[in-house]
Every structure is written in structure tokens, then in C-alpha cells.
């Protein structure tokens, strides 16, 4: 029934009354879609506390020390017009705490969104790793944080940027963090260059602009000179740099890792997250509209999908390669983080599925305070000598100490392991464990010898005894790292024509924002080494001559697996706008809404006014609706407003499926949309909705976009 359809976005777990409540009662529970971290002690033991026990308590306002307070609206003064008194301890406590509520934001990945969920293994990894959470049938709690890289906490979600995809597995053998991105390669090969690339990509230090963008001189100056960055840059210029949703992003571990099984055998692997509903991007105009109309677009999309019951899912897959002495595969250096391994050469093996089904209760306590680290490993998973990964093993711990106020960040509730912790680490800022004993050192006899060193028979972590070749100490790298263009060419040549169009347009936009012509010309030389056609297209847009390549273009075999266009996918969580008004047949509106919901999509009713249409709630008015939030739109009413016309104009231009009944077809005419255009359906309500739902599986009507 229509009444069963959830309308996401309610701010609290029950509706607010009109009058200010005056009858004391305790804190409201979280919403049904929300859950905090599983209660654990600072040393990993299960806590007897329930989740509400760690939230605020009691029905009355108190001080931080628990004293009940009569009033919090006026300071203590010497008379109604006199000075505020220094003895006002409540004022001082309240203001002092407020003055210290903010903590340093992350230097990168500052803006993020997160969710709780579970990961269930299928056992396919048991032959290559002894990691317990990858055994068949094991279900592990997870917390996942998605993020942009460049922008500050207050920047927009839909900027062109790499997205972070960090997963914390709370395994029975300790915390395992898979800290990756939505792009499988990185800008640099060695961690020593990380400050350089971030300084180049961040806003210019004199004006502090542009925010959360790479379309400026310092970024392109760096990547055109330091050409190992070209591989990551072209991925950023693709549709993967402007994802439609966090739910529709792939995730990659970026680096090569080493797995060891119960027999002591090792393999090299790359980790992949594959979204069940496909990998999809926005168009550039959509991304710009989203940044202005709803800067929280991706955050809201993730939270609303979970609240609506459209739980995002990803398969975790491995590319498994031999642990050869040279640590290469098919001519690809597996220690070079600017390289990926095409799936046609090393197929993906799905080892489990992750489902995100609960939103955080408190953004700061969970999403902001979660601390990831590539060195949070469990038995069966080890690192390689990738020089970028090696530097990350230091940097992540270092930054958490600054950001979270000391070395005890693992004791924050969101970071607490779900395994016994007996680490001999003591004291420090914000120590919340109460350690017993007198001998936090090894060996000891005064505490009975505890903690004892673990052996392999009781699940000790395994530092794989990898062979280190005889060499000398020097600042250099392997000759194989010097290939900066073959995989850039491979990526570009693997894409469909419409995806290639989007890449050339992205380069033209970004370089067009640069001031220095020398920077533009230098990047054109890099593009000439990738593809002559790409270089010529971008050069023409900039009004410059296309240079000749400085290298012989590599002969590459395209990888169709890199394409985002050409398949159909489940439509779970897709949004469908339904235009209606007071003259719309309410039963027809309810039937359409129910059909969209039954297909797994989210119906959003758009009307000239808020409130209700009969018994159907209105979620968007003509003044608040925006084309960017709909994957398809159907008109059951002929709304003559300029706002609704704009929604259809933009949706048509963005290749979205559109429908109308005879009563609503006038909207198409006002938007100058031909009724027989690709992806446009005019029919009775049932047929129109059925056609739209089928079109949604392809993400867009690509035929319309290719036709221009």
C-alpha cells in the first residue's frame, strides 16, 4: 500500500509538535535507520552498556558534572542591566566547551559521509589467505567512510575529484582497514611526493581559491611536469571523477598486497569493491548544478537510500597473481601504484558481499572521529614494498595523533576493536582504559608474565618473510616505474565514444581555467603521448596548436571492463519524480507511486504545493524540485510552471528517461521535447512507468546524448 512507502529525511524519530514541549521526558531514541558503534570497552571487551547508555541521559538539563540547571538562557549578572559575573560557572563551562568543539580537519579527505553495515564472506578466499573474516559464512561488522580528497569539510559533494572508499572491518582477530579510493591508481609512485601533489592540488595559498577543484594552474603545472601523475589524472577527467552516488562507485585498494594461507603459501592481490547496482557518473552540468542546489547531494543520497531500505551493496573481489621474485605480472610492475592490472588479464574473484544498512547516530562521534590506517592488518594479509604504501604506513598514524589529540584514538568508540586488546601501551591524552597490573613491559614476572607473545597456533599476525634482494642504499626507483603513458593510453582507448567525449571536455574545461599558456601547452604534449585525437580536440578548444608526441605511442589492447556504459543494472534506490496536481486522479497517482516503489526505486511526488494530494504525501514542490535528484521523471499533470519546465529541459539534456500521460504531455511540449525522442514515453500511466523503469537500468538514454 502507498502508506507503507517510507519518505526519507525526517530529522527525528517522531514528528515535532507545534507547541514547545513542557512535560519532562528523557531523550528520544535514534531513528529506525540509525545505529551507533557496537558497545565495546576501550580494550575490546563486549560492554554491558546498550547503545542509548552512551548517549545523553535523563530528562533534565545538567552541567557537565551532572548538576541540574534551572536556566540556560541568561547569564548571571549584577542586576538586569549590570555586568556579567565571573562566578557564572555555567556560562564559563558552556562557552569554554563550545570554543573547543572543533578539531583539526583531515588534510585530505576532510569531507565525508559514512554508514554501518556487515560483510559476509563466501569462502572463495580461503585457499589464498588464512584471514578469519574471509572464511565461508563469517559475517563481520563494518564501518565505511566515503569522501572527496581535495575539499575542506564545507565544500560541495559533487566536485570533480577522486573519492575515498575506506572500510573498517571489526574482525575477531582485530581491526582490518582497507583504505582505498574509487580509482585504482594514484598520482604519485613514492610517498615522498605526497606533500607536493597535495600542495599543488589544494587552493592557491595566496587567495585560498579555487576550493575543491583541480581546474587551476598549480595542479596542472605539477602533473604536466611530474608525468607519473598522468595516469591518475585521466581517471579524474573521466566520469569516475564525478560519481552519481557513493552507492554507484567502485572501490579499489590501489596497492598490491600479499596474502598468506594456512600452508604458508603467498600470492599478490589487488582488492576491488564492485557495486551491485553498477558504476555510474553524473554529467558535468549535473555536477555543477548539484554543487549549487544541493552541496550535500552525495551525503543525502546515501543516508536517504539507507533510510528508505535501499541498502547499498558491494561485492569484494580479488585479482590474484603469483608472488614472483620480480613482483610483476604480464609486464606490469605490481609495486607501482600508478599502474592497474586489466581484468581481462587477471579476472576478479568475488570473496564476499558488503551491505550498508544503518546510518550513524552522530556525525562527529562516528564519521569525523573514525581513524583508518593501512597498517591495521590481520593475520593472512600483509603489505608489499610499494613505496607509496610504505609511506602511508607512517603517515596515517601521525595524522591521527594530531587530529584526534593523542595516541589513544583507537579507544574512541567508533575505533574500538571487537577483539581482546592487551598492548602494554599506557597513559597519554584521553586515556579511557583503566589498566591494572604493575608491569606493562615484556618480559615480566610481576604480572604473571602477562601479556604473553602469541604463536602461529593461536592466530598471531604473520610478517611474511619476503625476500629482500641484495642492493645498496640509494634514492632511486625501478626502471619499470618510468613508463608514464602506456596505461593512460590503455584507459582512454578502452572507453566508449561518449565516455571519451566527456574526458576531452573535462580536459578542455580544466585547462581552460588555467592562466598560464605554458602550462596548457605542456599538458597538451602529455596528451599527445596518450592519443592524437584527444590532444587535437582539447587543443582546438583552447585555441592552441596540437603538438607532436615526444614518445612513440604504446601499442595497447583495450580493456572493455573499464567502460561504464553499455550494460544494464538493478535500479534499487533510483529516484523517480512524479509530477501531479490537485486535478490528478489520486488512485492513479497512488498506483504509479506503488509501482515505482515495488521495483525498488524511490518515488518522489512533485506538486505545486506541499502537504497532501488526497492521501499521498508531496515530497517536492515546484519550487524545491531539481532535475539533479531524479533519475527519471513522469508527468501525470500538465504543470505550466517555469520550474517544472526547467526540470524536464535539464533531465532531457542529461539523457534521463522521461514519461507523460496524455494529461501531462503538455509539459514535454513546453520543454521543446519531441514526444518520439529516444527515452521519451507518452502512454497511459501504467505503460509509461513500466517503460521508464526498464530504461533506468541503463542509467541514461545514451543514444540521445550521442546524437548531441
- Report, as residue numbers or ranges, the catalytic residues: 109, 181
By CB atoms closer than 10 A (0-12, 13-18, 19+), residue 598 is exposed
* Rounded distance between C-alpha atoms, residue 581 and residue 602, angstroms: 19
Of the candidates 675, 669, 682, 673, which has an alpha carbon nearest to the alpha carbon of residue 654? 673
Sequence-separated (6 or more) residues with CB below 8 Å from residue 474 = none
Residues 648-651: contacts with CB within 8 Å, 24+ apart?
648/673, 649/673, 650/285, 650/289, 651/627
Residues 518-523: contacts with CB within 8 Å, 24+ apart?
519/217, 519/220, 519/221, 519/224, 520/220, 520/544, 521/547, 522/221, 522/224, 522/225, 523/220, 523/223, 523/224
Which DSSP category does 654 fall into?
T
Query: In a 3-state reduction of DSSP, which class is residue 702?
Result: helix
Per-residue exposure over 3-24, b if at least 16 CB sit within 10 Å of its own CB, e if not: eebeebeeeeeeeeeeeeeeee
* Rounded distance between C-alpha atoms, residue 60 and residue 71, angstroms: 11
* Rounded distance between C-alpha atoms, residue 106 and residue 372, angstroms: 12
Which DSSP category does 85 fall into?
P
Does residue 658 contact residue 634 with C-beta atoms inside 8 Å? yes
Calculated CA dihedral for residues 366, 299, 200, 339, nearest 10 degrees: 90
Tell me the CA end-to-end span of the chain in Å, nearest whole number.
41
Of the candidates 612, 610, 652, 618, which has an alpha carbon nearest to the alpha carbon of residue 632? 652
Amino acid at each position: 500500500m502507498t502508506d507503507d512507502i517510507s519518505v526519507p529525511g525526517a530529522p527525528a524519530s517522531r514528528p515535532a509538535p507545534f507547541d514547545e514541549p513542557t512535560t519532562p521526558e528523557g531523550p528520544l531514541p535514534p531513528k529506525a535507520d540509525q545505529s551507533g558503534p557496537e558497545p565495546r570497552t576501550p580494550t575490546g571487551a563486549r560492554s554491558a552498556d546498550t547503545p542509548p547508555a552512551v548517549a545523553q541521559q535523563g530528562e533534565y538539563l545538567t552541567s557537565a558534572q551532572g548538576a541540574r540547571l534551572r536556566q540556560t538562557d541568561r547569564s548571571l549578572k549584577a542586576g538586569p542591566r549590570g555586568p556579567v559575573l565571573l562566578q557564572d560557572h555555567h556560562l564559563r563551562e558552556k562557552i569554554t566547551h563550545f570554543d573547543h568543539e572543533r578539531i583539526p580537519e583531515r588534510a585530505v579527505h576532510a569531507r565525508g559521509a559514512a554508514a554501518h553495515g556487515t560483510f559476509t564472506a563466501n569462502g572463495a578466499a580461503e585457499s589464498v589467505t588464512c584471514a578469519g573474516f574471509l572464511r565461508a559464512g563469517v559475517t563481520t561488522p563494518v564501518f565505511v567512510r566515503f569522501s572527496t580528497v581535495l575539499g575542506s569539510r564545507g565544500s560541495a559533494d559533487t566536485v570533480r575529484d577522486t573519492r575515498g572508499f575506506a572500510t573498517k572491518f571489526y574482525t575477531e582477530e582485530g581491526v582490518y582497514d582497507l583504505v582505498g579510493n574509487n580509482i585504482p591508481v594514484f598520482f604519485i609512485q613514492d610517498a615522498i611526493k605526497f606533500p607536493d601533489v597535495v600542495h599543488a592540488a589544494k587552493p592557491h595559498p595566496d587567495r585560498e581559491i579555487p576550493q575543491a577543484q583541480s581546474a587551476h594552474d598549480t595542479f596542472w603545472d605539477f602533473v604536466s611536469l611530474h608525468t607519473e601523475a598522468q595516469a591518475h589524472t585521466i581517471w579524474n577527467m573521466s566520469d569516475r571523477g564525478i560519481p552519481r552516488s557513493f552507492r554507484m562507485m567502485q572501490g579499489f585498494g590501489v596497492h598490491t598486497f600479499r596474502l598468506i594461507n594456512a600452508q604458508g603459501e603467498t600470492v599478490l592481490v589487488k582488492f576491488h569493491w564492485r557495486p551491485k547496482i553498477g558504476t555510474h557518473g553524473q554529467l558535468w552540468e549535473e555536477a555543477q548544478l548539484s554543487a549549487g542546489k544541493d552541496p550535500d547531494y552525495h551525503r543525502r543520497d546515501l543516508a536517504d537510500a539507507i533510510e528508505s531500505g535501499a541498502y547499498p551493496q558491494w561485492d569484494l573481489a580479488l585479482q590474484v597473481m603469483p608472488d614472483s621474485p620480480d613482483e610483476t605480472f604480464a609486464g606490469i610492475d605490481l609495486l607501482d601504484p600508478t599502474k592497474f592490472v586489466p581484468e581481462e588479464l587477471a579476472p576478479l574473484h568475488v570473496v564476499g558481499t558488503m551491505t550498508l544498512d544503518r546510518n550513524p547516530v552522530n556525525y562527529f562521534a562516528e564519521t569525523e572521529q573514525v581513524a583508518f590506517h593501512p597498517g591495521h592488518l590481520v593475520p593472512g594479509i600483509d603489505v608489499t614494498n610499494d613505496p607509496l604504501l610504505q609511506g602511508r604506513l607512517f603517515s596515517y598514524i601521525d595524522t591521527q595523533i594530531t587530529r584526534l589529540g593523542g595516541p589513544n584514538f583507537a579507544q574512541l568508540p567508533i575505533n574500538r576493536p571487537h577483539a581482546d586488546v592487551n598492548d602494554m601501551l599506557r597513559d597519554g591524552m584521553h586515556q579511557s582504559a583503566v589498566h591494572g597490573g604493575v608491569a606493562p613491559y615484556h618480559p615480566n614476572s610481576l604480572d604473571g608474565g602477562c601479556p604473553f607473545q602469541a604463536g602461529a597456533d593461536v592466530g598471531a599476525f604473520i610478517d611474511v618473510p619476503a625476500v629482500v634482494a641484495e642492493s645498496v642504499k640509494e634514492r632511486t626507483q625501478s626502471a619499470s616505474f618510468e613508463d608514464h603513458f602506456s596505461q593512460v593510453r590503455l584507459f582512454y582507448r578502452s572507453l566508449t565514444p561518449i565516455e571519451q567525449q566527456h574526458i576531452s571536455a573535462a580536459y578542455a574545461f580544466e585547462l581552460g581555467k588555467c592562466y598560464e599558456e605554458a602550462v596548457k601547452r605542456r599538458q597538451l604534449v602529455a596528451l599527445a603521448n596518450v592519443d592524437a585525437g584527444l590532444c587535437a580536440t582539447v587543443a582546438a578548444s583552447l585555441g592552441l596548436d596540437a603538438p607532436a608526441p615526444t614518445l612513440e605511442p604504446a601499442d595497447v589492447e583495450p580493456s572493455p571492463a573499464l567502460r561504464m556504459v553499455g550494460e544494464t543494472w538493478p535500479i534499487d534506490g533510483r529516484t523517480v519524480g512524479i509530477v501531479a496536481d490537485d486535478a490528478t486522479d489520486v488512485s492513479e497517482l497512488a498506483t504509479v507511486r506503488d509501482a515505482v516503489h515495488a521495483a525498488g526505486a524511490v518515488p518522489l511526488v512533485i506538486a505545486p504545493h506541499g502537504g497532501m494530494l488526497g492521501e499521498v504525501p508531496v515530497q517536492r514542490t515546484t519550487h524545491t524540485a531539481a532535475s539533479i535528484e531524479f533519475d527519471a521523471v513522469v508527468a501525470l499533470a500538465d504543470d505550466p510552471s517555469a520550474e517544472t519546465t526547467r526540470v524536464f529541459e535539464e533531465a532531457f539534456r542529461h539523457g534521463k528517461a522521461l514519461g507523460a500521460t496524455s494529461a501531462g504531455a503538455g509539459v514535454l511540449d513546453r520543454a521543446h521535447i519531441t514526444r518520439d525522442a529516444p527515452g521519451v514515453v507518452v502512454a497511459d500511466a501504467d505503460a509509461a512507468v513500466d517503460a521508464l523503469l526498464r530504461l533506468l537500468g541503463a542509467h541514461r538514454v545514451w543514444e540521445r546524448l550521442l546524437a548531441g
